[in-house]
Every structure is written in structure tokens, then in C-alpha cells.
Amino acid sequence: MVKINDNYQKLQGSYLFSTIAKKVNAFSSAHPEKKIIRLGIGDVTRPLTPTIIKTLHASVDEMADEKTFRGYAPDLGYDFLRKAICDNDYRSRGCRIEEDEIFVSDGAKPDSGNIQEIFDADCKIAVCDPVYPVYVDSNVMAGRAGDYDEKTGRYTNVVYMECTAQNGFAPELPKEACDLIYLCFPNNPTGATLKKSELQQWVDYANKNGSVIIFDAAYEAYISDDCPHSIYECEGATQCAIELHSFSKNAGFTGLRLGYAVVPKELKRGGVSLNSLWARRHATKYNGAPYIVQRAGEAVYSEEGKKEIRGLIDYYMENAKYIVSGLEKAGYNVFGGTNSPYIWLATPDKMTSWEFFDHLLEKANVVGTPGVGFGACGEGYFRLTSFGSHENTREAVDRICNL
Ligand code: PLP
């Protein structure tokens, strides 16, 4: 009889958001008259902008004509998009990244889950706590995380870098040597960012220890100060870092699906180019993002596209401002929300994350995300997102403040 991959048995319970959905469904069935406002899941709500829509329509029309029809996309992405990415996200920032170091994909979630495949089964991974769960779960599936310890809520073979209010939610360099280090800044869920000098320390650590940093830059468009948008702004990062990007949170492509990974040619381990390994893996298991979506991605970098995308981000950040100032006035201890669409708050009256979740759902009919769902260090915290409409966000904050 065929045997299953036993590592899957080590994955913990149901995924955070399905537990939330179950609780919300149970509440709304019992109280159908209540208007629930969801500031939980990190999905966007604003529609795609006019330039993107226009480009999608035009590229659909190309598919209807024999002369302009496109079949399989190139495995690693169309040249027009790779060039737009390189020019706008790297060359304009003084980062030395070339088109053939860009791998177009269907998003940062798949890339962050898949990238571990090119590393040895025994390599030691390090993640922040709290953490975007995909980094851990993909390594659990690969058998790299060890066993789950019920007492600590952690896997035995993972190094958890604690991010707390004491260290400003910025991880400290691990004392033990780690091979694969996942960093995400601006951070989901805490909204924290790293200054260039702080990120440089990670690059130096990785180069000294032969580690590789997986830098998830899904939220870089939300940076409003001088924090680095890319890890390649740091000296030596092309020798130790892979960077992941998404078109989801800046341009609203959560439903269209588009992202990219940067694997520099200089990045080698054991004399082997990781760029070649990822190219091999990508070409074998992925058949390219759709032409019409890649054209829409290119339009994100047009002059009109950039203006419209700025408008989307400003819209969400206005919500973030309202949430932060409202909750602070009401006496909450609030973090994030300046360089990030996420607001991370300490629960009041020593409530656990889930107690506060139930409290908000029942008393204010507002849904957020319990911090403990992102790791043990998230206990006693709660995440709100600014991805709702202005109207709903204001109403939710006002309800919370009036509790
Ligand atoms: N990376 C982080 C840190 C995220 O929070 C998310 C989505 O919430 C993603 C990646 C997913 O990005 P994408 O929609 O491009 O798959």
C-alpha cells in the first residue's frame, strides 16, 4: 500500500483563518441581524485600477487574434515584465539586479512555500516569532521542522527569533548558526520595519555563516520613511539573499495572482548557483504566469499605473492612521500601521488573543486575527488590517472604542 508523506501529519490543526471563519459563521448564524465588520484576513478590497483593467481588456483581445495569440508563457516570465521589474524595483534604487535574476511567478505565497525545495533536508531554518505561517508549514511538509511540541507550541528543529515589544519586534541575530533565515519587513503581522543598518547586520551574519536569507518584501510598497525597500540595498546581499515580491498588496492582484522571486547569479552555496537551481525547479514545476496577467503587471509600472497604485496604498494607509489614532486615544497599546497595512495591538486587561477575538466578535461584531495564531510570541496581541473600506474601518474602530 502506498504510504503518505508523514510530515503532513505534523502540521498543526486547522489553518488559523479557517478557525476564525468557523467562529464567525457560528456567531452570524446565531445573530443574523448583526452587521459583522471584518478586519482580519489580509485580503484587499479596492477594485483593480483603470489602467490595469484597460490593459487586461487589451491583452484579452490579443488572445482572440491569431496574429497576437500567446500560448505557454516563458517559464521564467516575459522579458517585458522582467525588464519593468528590474528598472523600477532595482535599478532605480541603485541595486545591481539583472533581468535573468528575476523569476516571475503566481505570487509570494507559492514562492515562499516552494523556495525551501532547493535546500538540503537537514538545513536548519530560523523564523521570526510571530511569523507568516507559510514559512514554517512548508518546512514541516518537507520534514525539516522536527516534531511539534504541544507545551511550547513550537517545532523542535526550528529556531524561533522572538519579536516582542522589548526589541521593537525586530529579531536579534541567532546565537546558533542557522542555514535558512526567513525575514519579512515590513512585517506581517507586527507591521515592524528594519532600518538599513539593522538589515545590513543580517546580511553580514548570513555572509559570515554561509546562510541564505529569504527576504519577503510583499509589503515594501507601504514603506513611507527611509527603511530599505529591498534587501539588495545592503552591501553583499546578492551573495546571501533571495527576495520575494508580490503584486497582491500594492496593486490588488490577490485574485489575479502575480509575484516574482529574485535569485542573484552571485548567490552560490557549495559552488552551486542557486539561480540555476531555481531556474530548473521553476521550469519543471511551473508553467508561467498568464500573458494577460503579466501585461497587467507591466502596467503597474507605467506612469498612470504608478499613480493609481499610490492611490490604493494611500487609501489603505488612511485607514491605518484612523485605526492607530482611534485605538491609541481609547488607551490601547498599538504598533505598526505606519509603514505597513497591519496594526498590531496588545490585548487589554491581560486577555489572551482568542479571548479578545471572542470579546470583539461578540461585543463589537468586529473580526480581527488573534496574534497567537502567528506564534507563541503573538499571545496577548491582536492584528487588525487596514484593507477594509473607509466606512467599515471607521465604524469598526468607533465600535471598539465605545466598548
Ligand atoms: N508574504 C506575506 C508575508 C504575506 O503576508 C502574504 C499574504 O498575506 C503573502 C506573502 C502572499 O502573497 P501573494 O498574494 O503574492 O501570494
Which of 188, 293, 344 has most ligand 1 atoms within 8 Å of its beta carbon, as the pocket-test mutant? 188
347 ligand 1 Cβ < 6 A: no
Who's near 277: CB < 8 A, 6+ residues apart?
A: 118
| pLDDT beyond 70 at 342 | yes
Residue 269 lies in a domain: yes
Residue that is last in its domain, among 258, 283, 301: 301
What CATH number corresponds to the domain at position 380? 3.90.1150.10
d(CA 108, CA 217): 9
Which of 248, 250, 342, 386 has most ligand 1 atoms within 8 Å of its beta carbon, as the pocket-test mutant? 248
In the block, residue with C-alpha cell 471584518: 38
d(CA 66, CA 70): 9
216 ligand 1 Cβ < 6 A: yes
Q: Clarify whether residues 133 and 190 are in a common domain.
A: yes
Q: Clarify whether residues 214 and 334 are in a common domain.
A: no
| 277-281 mean pLDDT | 97
183 ligand 1 Cβ < 6 A: no
Who's near 252: CB < 8 A, 6+ residues apart?
A: 44, 46, 47, 48, 49, 52, 312
Give the residue whose CA is nearest to atom 8 of ligand 1. Answer: 42
Residue that is last in its domain, among 248, 272, 301: 301
What CATH number corresponds to the domain at position 184? 3.40.640.10
383 ligand 1 Cβ < 6 A: no
- C-alpha 1 – ligand 1 centre gap (Å): 37
Per-residue pLDDT of 205-248, as tens digits, reads 999 999 999 999 999 999 999 999 999 999 999 999 999 999 99
- Indicate the pLDDT class of residue 12, thresholds 50, 70 and 90: confident
Residue 80 lies in a domain: yes
pLDDT at 178: 96
Give the residue whose CA is nearest to atom 9 of ligand 1. Answer: 109
- Indicate the pLDDT class of residue 42, thresholds 50, 70 and 90: confident
Q: Clarify whether residues 253 and 388 are in a common domain.
A: no
d(CA 105, CA 242): 14
Give the residue whose CA is nearest to atom 6 of ligand 1. Answer: 109
In the block, residue with C-alpha cell 485607514: 319
d(CA 218, CA 260): 10
For residue 65 the three cell numbers come to 487574434
Which of 43, 103, 112 has most ligand 1 atoms within 8 Å of its beta carbon, as the pocket-test mutant? 112
Around Cβ 215, how many Cβ atoms within 10 Å? 27
- C-alpha 3 – ligand 1 centre gap (Å): 32
Per-residue pLDDT of 195-217, as tens digits, reads 999 999 999 999 999 999 999 99
Residue 258 lies in a domain: yes
Q: What is the mean pLDDT of the chain?
A: 96
- C-alpha 331 – ligand 1 centre gap (Å): 31
Around Cβ 179, how many Cβ atoms within 10 Å? 19
Q: Clarify whether residues 198 and 63 are in a common domain.
A: yes
Q: Clarify whether residues 65 and 21 are in a common domain.
A: no
Q: Clarify whether residues 58 and 42 are in a common domain.
A: no
- C-alpha 108 – ligand 1 centre gap (Å): 5
Which of 17, 45, 109, 253 has most ligand 1 atoms within 8 Å of its beta carbon, as the pocket-test mutant? 109
Task: Identify any residues that bridge with 125 across adjacent strands, giving them in sequence order.
Answer: 158, 180
| pLDDT beyond 90 at 19 | no
Q: Clarify whether residues 223 and 113 are in a common domain.
A: yes
Q: What is the 3-state secondary structure (H, E, C) of 268-316?
A: EECCEEHHHHHHHHHHHHCCCCCHHHHHHHHHHCCHHHHHHHHHHHHHH
Q: Clarify whether residues 265 and 365 are in a common domain.
A: no
188 ligand 1 Cβ < 6 A: yes
Q: Clarify whether residues 122 and 176 are in a common domain.
A: yes
Q: Clarify whether residues 280 and 388 are in a common domain.
A: no
Cα separations (Å) of 207 from 18, 180, 181? Answer: 39, 12, 12
Q: Clarify whether residues 247 and 371 are in a common domain.
A: no
Q: Clarify whether residues 201 and 234 are in a common domain.
A: yes
- C-alpha 181 – ligand 1 centre gap (Å): 17
The boundaries of the domain holding residue 138 are: 53-301
| 363-385 mean pLDDT | 96
Residue 1 lies in a domain: no
pLDDT at 14: 63
Residues 337, 339, 341: CA angle, nearest 5 degrees: 50
| pLDDT beyond 90 at 41 | no
179 ligand 1 Cβ < 6 A: no
Q: How many structural domains is the chain composed of?
A: 2
Q: What percent of the chain has pLDDT over 90?
A: 96
Please give the torsion angle defined by the CA atoms of residues 102, 197, 337 and 303, in that order, rounded to the nearest 10 degrees.
Answer: -40
Name the pTM for this structure: 0.97
- C-alpha 363 – ligand 1 centre gap (Å): 30
| pLDDT beyond 90 at 166 | yes
The answer to whether 395 and 359 are in contact (CB under 8 A) is: no
In the block, residue with C-alpha cell 552551486: 272
d(CA 108, CA 117): 15
The answer to whether the Cα torsion of 20, 22, 26, 28 is positive or negative is positive
